Structure 1
């Protein structure tokens, strides 16, 4: 009986380790677009993302470290501690909108994001960058210069660049808050599904070997 109990415990431990070995960790570092602006945390799309990714055979623990109002400079300051605390496999950078809305020179978010990508890479994680665009009322020249920093960074740093999900949401007024800048609660499930579709090709499947969760 003792041997049987030992074998059962050993089998359970091996199965638990195997499940953990395939559970990757995604850290999202963003602003109000990812923090769930004026809604409960469990309604925001990052809280729905893990379940959406399961449809693509991706077992992922999602850690949402987004803070409303954060600039790239704010998040750069926070990033080293976040990397140490969460030891992610992937880091999604959804940042820059607040830099643009404050009229910062595009060079500022470009330099900050470049440094963040370097920190993520040095930690052993895969950085994933999201394209950000600002409203056209800031002027075509500034808006174009701002938007151009993302494909430039993605090419220079050799990291994936995701499309800006807000462009798919803002065309549906019923999905937007009255400020015209933030998606509302109704949009969050769609964003989660769309993000899962974008992220899944960049992640190892649950049946792949070599993925680990710290």
Structure 2
């Protein structure tokens, strides 16, 4: 004799629920959702991760090893991660948001060009200057004169690389990338640009150190 229906129901209810179907969201979609719900936190984690990786890659390309350990993973790596989390990401968040708000709803070729010009004259100089200031401090600069000398030595070179590459990337984003996907797109671009700029700064610093050593001998 079969069990009553109520007993079958209780028995089934005691079983663990079936696993949920696999999510159809791609990693990019999940990332974009996080950007919508927790924008600054998501950008901060992204920037910290990419900055740490950028520092390791730049050190390897520039041939700069930690003098104590002989490794390309130096004490600057966690500093770069902290810089990305607490400085770079919030700064970029508010600068880019301000730029997007200023040009929101404005269409046409002239407005797109104006947005690129505004980005190059206002946003990138601020970002590059802050980057160079922190890099000089991480490298050992302690006085304002040392920080300024380091900034002055590298700013124009770094800014030129931004002026050459950023307008092309901005124009590409305006044409092909939906605005809600600009953050991951520009984060990836920034990773390569920061790595390149970091390599330049490291090589210039190495050349200056060698020059100072030659003078002292």
TM-score, scaled to structure 1: 0.34
Compare the two structures and name the one with the higher helix fraction: 2
Larger radius of gyration: 2
Which structure ranks higher in relative contact order (CA pairs < 8 Å, sequence separation ≥ 6)? Answer: 1
TM-score, scaled to structure 2: 0.34
